[in-house]
Amino acid sequence: MPTPYVLLAAAIAAEVAGTTAMKYSDGFTRLWPSLGTAAGYLLAFTLLAQTLKSMSVGTAYAIWAGVGTAAVAAIGMLFLGESANAVKLVGIGLVIVGVILLNVGGAH
């Protein structure tokens, strides 16, 4: 059985893939991106549920939300033509720092 952090990383990757596919689904009017969204989220929640068997929900959710948010924001800026500016980059950095501080400070 993979470690909880490996499962959580896979869950985050699936959620980020599902969210990215949602961008291309055109409001769920395009079949394949819509199915990709559903599959990504189904896999993400399945893996997150497995993670929660051996990791506290506070720790798992802090990592899930923070890393997922930062990754989707970065993908938007790097690949989807969304604007990148200093405020957004600082915001991503603060999200990452927040996740680290929650874990160091005892989110578990």
Mutual orientation of helices 57-79 and 31-51 as an angle, nearest 10°? 150
pLDDT tens track for 51-89: 999 998 988 998 999 999 999 999 999 999 999 999 999
- Confidence band for 105, pLDDT divided at 50, 70 and 90: confident
pTM: 0.90
> DSSP per residue over 52-90, as a string?
TTTS-HHHHHHHHHHHHHHHHHHHHHHHS-----HHHHH
pLDDT tens track for 19-55: 999 999 999 999 999 999 999 999 999 999 999 999 9
Tell me the domain boundaries of the chain.
4-104
